Amino acid sequence: MQIPPDAWASLQQDYLRQAGELWNRTLHESHEGAVAAAAASEPLKDRRFANPSWNDNRLGHFTAALYLLNARTLQQMADQVQGDDKTRARIRFAVQQFVDATAPSNFLAFNPEAQQRALHTQGESIARGMQLLMEDIRRGHVSQTDESAFEVGRNVATTEGSVVFENDFFQLLEYKPLTAQVHERPLLMVPPCINKYYILDLQPENSLIRYAVAQGHRTFVVSWRNPDASCVHWNWDDYIEQAAIKAIEVVQAISGSKTLNTLGFCVGGTILSAALAVLAARGQQPAASVTLLTTLLDFSSNGILDVFIDEASVRLRELTIGPQAPNGPGLLHGQELATTFSFLRPNDLVWNYVVGNYLKGDPPPAFDLLYWNGDATHLPGPMYCWYLRHTYLQNDLKVPGRLTTCGVPVDLGAIKAPVYVYGSREDHIVPWEAAYRNTQVFTGKKRFVLGASGHIAGVINPPAKNKRSHWIGKTAALPADGQTWMKTAVEHPGSWWPDWSAWLASHAGAQKAAPRTPGNRQYTPIEPAPGRYVKERA
């Protein structure tokens, strides 16, 4: 690996020129006095330094400006490194992590805003910050919200329903109808097993579950068990057969409908698709429709997450927590996965809270989405290792017949159901182009909708808020490349939920009287929703 000599020389010249200009400007301002200096200083175009104290304090302004210059230069150097794509991506990622971690705003000695806060509070802000730091050390993670403000079942995950089935892997929730009539085909939602299901049911006003129930769908949701040491032997086939397929069978039995609408979110969409492909190989087509929200099926390129995956890293996981581990399989602990995802956006999800919590002494505000984000879940090692190898590393799932799951070859193209594919434009976990590639995997009718914002905020976008936008193609045509589709897509203001609701209703069948009680004679209610499983903390 090297930087081409001409690029290196150009970077040196640009850096020396800009550093010299910055130094000369700072010296000039120091002679003009504090008032003139504040007026002469160029505002720092970075939200970490937006507080006026960074401009009012000459040393603070110079430190931040020099940092930004150094950061730009390091990033430009990383961009100029010659090498294969993965190596260059890893260098860029490592440089970005270093740059974000070394920002002067992260250190009390260089942060004039935090220093002023300490002076004005006579040191109380530092004392509060130390107290918050000690509390987070006990928790084992940086707090992103006031965790004491929320309780599952009390003010999050409150949509009324019942647990109508459970096994070792999941509880099945059925929600109480909000309409006098419901569609004859029920709706089954499969959320990601790497998080708690209630991202789909945070508050009544932003609950996708409540929205679906209010649209007249008899709604069922998988609530995954949070695995513990007794679950370390669980593998991918178990999640398909004992969870996704079993949930489909129970919903069929309770509703009396041979077909149902299905929805999978993130990894839940991958699990749902694999389960439907297994059933297709067995001659069964239970899905009247499939909705996939920010889901990966074709793992050709997956943005920043690709930097973590290669043969060596997957093999290391297999030898430590996988089925080949010398001491037996183990768990991928939830906090490790949560920390990894946070460092994909370190300024927003890590350093922002380090500065606010510890340097300024401000406890984070109550925010339901971030409470959910901190409610981590474990994963069984064998399941996780299989998933890493056969999806992210080898991209086997999209190839018809390459994988055998639950004893049958998997072919996603054998699923005979219309598919609604959703992607989020700023998604850093499932880039929208990767979500779009799902349209090329299925052979039936497909619809692709692109929403604004990120992996979670793009999905959880209720219509009543009238926020953000979504894009729909001018025609039903879905070219192979997402950027080609985007050239003719039309932007629509507001949430994508009404578009999905209209599409789903067209596959949900006729209306009939809503059931008076949950479950049936075979599957009677076990306990009220949200159930026990979702309350298990990692």
Active-site annotation, residues:
266
Distance CA 203, CA 465 (A): 13
Helix ranges (H only) for 33-111 are 34-40, 53-56, 58-80, 85-101
Distance CA 263, CA 259 (A): 13
Residue of 203, 183, 250, 202 whose CA lies nearest to 222: 250
User: Among positive and negative, which fits the CA dihedral 397, 398, 399, 401?
Assistant: positive
Compute the chain's Rg from CA coordinates. 26
DSSP string, 245-282: IHHHHHHHHHH--S-EEEEEETHHHHHHHHHHHHHHHT
Asked whether the beta carbons of 71 and 48 are under 8 A apart, the reply is: no
Asked whether the beta carbons of 470 and 449 are under 8 A apart, the reply is: yes
φ/ψ (deg, to 5) at 505: -60, -30
Peptide bond before residue 530 is cis, with ω within 30 degrees of 0: yes
φ/ψ (deg, to 5) at 485: -60, -40
Q: Which amino acid is at 104?
A: P
Please report which helix (H) or strand (E) contains residue 9, including its range: helix 5-32
Over the range 384-415, which residues count as b (16 or more CB within 10 Å of their CB) and which as e? bbbbbbbbbbebebbeeeebebbeeebbbebb
